[in-house]
Amino acid sequence: MIRKGIKQLIAEAEQRSTGISIEEARKRIGDEKTVFVDIRDVRELEREGMIPDAFHAPRGMLEFWVDPESPYYKPVFTDDKTFILYCQADWRGTLAAAALGDMGMKNVLHLQGGFGEWRKAGGPTASRPDKKKP
């Protein structure tokens, strides 16, 4: 039997992370110092689209892509930017923001309500960009 359920994990992550409202996040669209990071599964992106110009970092790889010592490191994750993580309902976003904070990353936020609330509020969306060929 598990000792902590998902509700408790999310509640604890909420205490270790900071959310940003849809309204405040919308003001950051186009801000070169802000990176929206879509952590949803690629099938969700294909089905529902994403926030324009967001960077896709699948939740299962996020910590590996953030760590400069990892062979999977992605240079988009620099300390001089603010990262707004989002998933569909903000459960994964909250857990991910807490994990990156635990790793020592600064300026990491999670989008309150996630992409579902973003769409309901009329936030801009775009199709998933075609995967770049090497």
The CATH label, of 3.40.30.20, 3.90.550.10, 1.10.10.60, 3.40.250.10, for the domain at 6-120 is 3.40.250.10
Place of tokens 């909250």: 94
Report domain extents, the chain.
6-120
Task: Determine if residue 53 is left, alpha or beta; phi over 0 gives left, psi from -120 to 50 gives alpha, anything else beta.
Answer: left
pLDDT confidence of residue 128: 86
pLDDT confidence of residue 132: 61
* pLDDT band, residue 69 (cuts 50/70/90): very high
Q: What is the mean pLDDT of the chain?
A: 95
Task: At 38, list the tokens.
Answer: 């879509």
* pLDDT band, residue 131 (cuts 50/70/90): low
pTM for the model stands at 0.94
- pLDDT tens, position by position, 8-29: 999 999 999 999 999 999 999 9
Distance, in Å, from the CA atom of 4 to the CA atom of 18, rounded to the nearest integer, reads: 22
